[in-house]
Amino acid sequence: MKYSIEGTPLPVAICSLEPGESMITERGSMAWMSPNMKMETTSGGGVGKALGRMFAGETLFQNRYTAMGGPGTIAFASSFPGSILPFTITPGQGMIVQKSGFLASEAGVSLSVYLQRKFSSGLFGGEGFIMQRLSGEGIAFIEIDGHVKEYDLAAGESLIVDTGYLAAMTESCSMEIVTVPGVKNMLFGGEGIFNTVVKGPGKIYLQTLPISAVAGSLRPFFPAGK
């Protein structure tokens, strides 16, 4: 599979497939494709995996697109202004990505739910609690909301991230959702109640425009529901 990522601020990943090669997606992200691309809707590994993907913000079923009878082309478009990043997934070197961040991938990539280790703190931590684990082998395309900033964390090095701004991290990193210290800071600081602490070693990818932050900024301008 060959690909190019084009456009800004609403990019698209355009993939060129050899005969018999397949791509998977879960959110109806297909924008256009050549006539010889065959679509098949599957559970992507059984009911258990399907329910796990739903818990991580995706759908129960996957769409598999396969080039039939010759080379094929298929494009997957982003749903929000930002970036599309390609990640090479290999056995033992997977990625943890934000809920609903998965756009599409080669068929050898598997998706599963990734839960923050401390369930009691993560339960109330918003979008930082449930994330997706990408494993297996192949290229995966991930949506990033807004601009992306990358950091390489050494072993033991950590970074405090406002919940929702963590877009992805290598699975060698660990994360913990913690409460903001001090009742006054929680109630009047304007930064929310939770933060995410990410620890290395590994690489993290931060985003500057989470959809949740945009929704919060726009909420005061919409009339209250009756």
Nearest-5° Cα angle at 146, 144 to 151: 65
pLDDT at 97: 95
Q: pTM for the whole thing?
A: 0.83
Supply 35's token pair. Answer: 């006539």
Q: Does domain 2-219 have CATH number 3.60.160.10?
A: yes
Domain-wise residue ranges, the chain: 2-219
Sequential pLDDT tens for the chain (226 residues): 999 999 989 999 999 999 999 999 987 789 999 999 999 998 765 555 555 545 544 556 789 999 999 999 999 999 899 999 999 999 999 999 998 899 999 999 998 888 765 544 444 444 446 789 999 999 999 999 999 999 999 999 999 998 789 999 999 999 888 876 654 444 444 455 778 899 999 999 999 998 877 777 777 887 765 4
Distance (Å, whole) CA 188 – CA 190? 6
Question: Which amino acid type is present at position 170?
Answer: T
Cβ atoms of 131 and 55 within 8 Å: the answer is no
pLDDT at 187: 47
Supply 66's token pair. Answer: 């396969």
pLDDT at 165: 92
Question: Which amino acid type is present at position 118?
Answer: K
Asked whether the CA dihedral 86, 89, 93, 98 is positive or negative, the reply is positive
The candidate with the shortest Cα–Cα distance to 63, out of 41, 81, 37, 46, is 41
Cβ atoms of 63 and 25 within 8 Å: the answer is yes
Q: What is the dihedral of CA 49, 68, 29, 89, to 10 degrees?
A: 50
150 phi, psi to nearest 5 deg: -105, 140
